[in-house]
C-alpha cells in the first residue's frame, strides 16, 4: 500500500494490526503528543485506543500541520498549511445503514459541527467509509453541484443522508464526477464477493471542485480489508507552517546608471543636507559664563 500513499490518507474501521511502513505519520484518537509526529520506521496504531478512524501523512508533511482534532472514535479533523488556501480534512466512519436512526442523527450532527468550525476559505475534504450508496445520476439531489452522473448503485438511507448533507453544505461527491469502469468505482466487497457496493466517498467543497482532477479505486493496494483504497487527485501546494515570510522585493541596483535617476538622487540628497544645515543654524547658541 505504501506506494499509493502520495500525501494524505484516511483510515476507517481500524484493527490492531493496522500499520504503515516507511516512516509515514499516523494521527489517531489520542491526545496530540509530539511522539506521534516522529514517524520513524514502522509506525503502528495503538491497539488499546478505542478508535475507528486515523489519518496517515507522508513523511515530511507533519511540518504542514496547523492543527488536528480527534473529535471521537468516528471523526477526526486535520488542517494543513497550503500555499494560497489552507486544507481541512475530515476523516469519518459512519454507522451502517441498519444502525439506529438516533446514532445516525448524532453522527451527522457531530460531522456538521466539525464542518462548521472550518474557515470558509479553506479547501475542505470530507472522506471515509460513509456506508452510503448513491445513484448513478443527480436526479435525487436535483443539483448538479452536489453530485455527478457517474455513481454505480441504488441509493439507500445513508446515501440520502449523505446527499442531503452535501447539498446543504456545498460539498461535491467526487466519486460521481469521473468516468471510470465500474470495477474502479466499487469500494467494498462482501467476503465471498457476492455483494459489492460504492460506499466509501471523497467529497470536496463546491468552490474547489475544479481542483479535484480524479477519483478512483486502486485495486492493487493491499489494505488487509474488505474495502478497497479510494484515491483522489487534487491539485494543491502545501507549505511549511513555521516558514518565515521573506521579503521578496526586487532591488534594481543598476538603476544608478540612469542619468535621470542619478540626478534625482543628487537633488534629494542636496535638499536633505540643506534642511539639516538650516536646522543646525537655527539652534540657539550656548554661552559659557565663567565667574572671575
Q: How do beta strands 87-93 and 123-129 pair?
A: parallel
How far is it, in rounded angstroms, from Cα 7 to Cα 21? 14
Tens-place pLDDT, residues 195-244: 889 899 999 999 899 889 999 988 877 667 788 888 888 887 766 665 55
Q: Is this model's pTM higher than 0.75 or not?
A: no
Average pLDDT taken over every residue of the chain: 77
pLDDT in tens, the chain (292 residues): 445 455 677 777 655 444 454 445 555 554 443 334 433 333 344 443 456 788 888 878 888 889 888 888 899 999 998 878 899 999 999 999 999 999 999 999 999 999 999 998 999 999 999 999 987 776 655 667 888 887 787 889 999 999 999 999 999 999 889 989 988 888 888 887 788 898 999 999 998 998 899 999 888 776 677 888 888 888 877 666 655 554 556 666 676 677 888 888 888 888 888 877 777 666 555 544 444 4
Q: Which of 79, 81, 104 is nearest to 93 (CA)?
A: 104
For the packed helices 157-168 and 101-116, what is the interaxial angle rounded to 10 degrees? Answer: 20
What pLDDT is attached to residue 13? Answer: 61
Kindly report the backbone phi and psi dihedral angles of residue 224, in degrees, each rounded to the nearest multiple of 5, phi listed first.
55, 50
How far apart, in whole angstroms, are the C-alpha atoms of residue 87 and residue 80?
A: 5
Domains delineated in the chain: 2-234 (3.60.10.10)
Alpha helices of 65-215 — where are they, by DSSP H? 101-116, 157-168
Spatial distance between the Cα atoms of 292 and 281, rounded to a whole number of angstroms: 31
> Please, which residues bridge with residue 78 across strands?
68, 89
What's the pLDDT at 43?
39
pLDDT at 173: 92
Question: What pLDDT sits at residue 143?
Answer: 66
**Cα separations (Å) of 236 from 8, 215, 244?**
12, 15, 20
Amino acid at each position: 500500500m505504501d506506494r499509493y500513499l502520495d500525501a494524505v490518507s484516511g483510515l476507517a474501521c481500524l484493527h490492531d494490526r493496522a500499520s504503515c511502513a516507511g516512516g509515514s505519520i499516523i494521527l489517531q484518537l489520542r491526545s496530540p503528543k509530539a511522539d506521534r509526529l516522529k514517524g520513524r520506521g514502522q509506525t503502528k496504531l495503538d491497539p488499546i485506543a478505542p478508535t475507528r478512524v486515523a489519518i496517515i501523512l507522508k513523511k515530511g508533511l507533519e511540518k504542514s500541520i496547523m492543527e488536528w482534532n480527534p473529535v471521537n472514535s468516528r471523526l477526526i479533523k486535520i488542517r494543513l498549511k497550503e500555499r494560497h488556501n489552507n486544507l481541512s480534512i475530515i476523516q469519518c466512519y459512519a454507522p451502517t445503514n441498519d444502525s439506529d436512526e438516533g446514532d445516525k442523527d448524532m453522527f451527522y450532527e457531530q460531522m456538521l459541527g466539525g464542518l462548521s468550525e472550518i474557515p470558509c476559505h479553506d479547501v475542505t475534504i470530507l472522506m471515509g467509509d460513509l456506508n452510503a450508496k448513491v445513484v448513478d445520476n443527480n436526479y435525487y439531489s436535483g443539483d448538479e453541484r452536489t453530485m455527478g452522473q457517474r455513481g454505480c448503485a441504488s441509493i439507500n438511507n445513508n446515501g440520502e443522508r449523505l446527499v442531503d448533507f452535501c447539498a446543504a453544505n456545498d460539498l461535491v461527491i467526487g466519486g460521481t464526477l469521473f468516468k471510470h469502469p465500474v470495477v474502479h468505482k466499487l469500494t467494498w466487497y462482501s467476503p465471498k464477493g457476492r455483494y459489492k457496493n460504492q460506499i466509501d466517498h471523497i467529497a470536496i467543497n463546491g468552490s474547489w471542485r475544479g481542483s479535484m482532477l480524479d477519483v478512483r479505486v486502486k485495486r492493487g493496494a493491499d489494505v488487509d480489508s474488505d474495502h478497497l483504497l479510494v484515491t483522489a487527485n487534487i491539485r494543491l501546494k502545501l507549505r511549511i507552517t513555521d516558514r518565515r515570510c521573506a521579503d521578496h522585493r526586487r532591488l534594481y541596483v543598476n538603476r544608478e546608471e540612469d542619468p535621470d535617476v542619478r540626478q534625482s538622487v543628487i537633488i534629494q540628497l542636496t535638499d536633505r543636507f540643506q534642511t539639516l544645515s538650516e536646522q543646525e543654524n537655527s539652534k540657539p547658541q550656548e554661552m559659557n559664563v565663567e565667574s572671575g
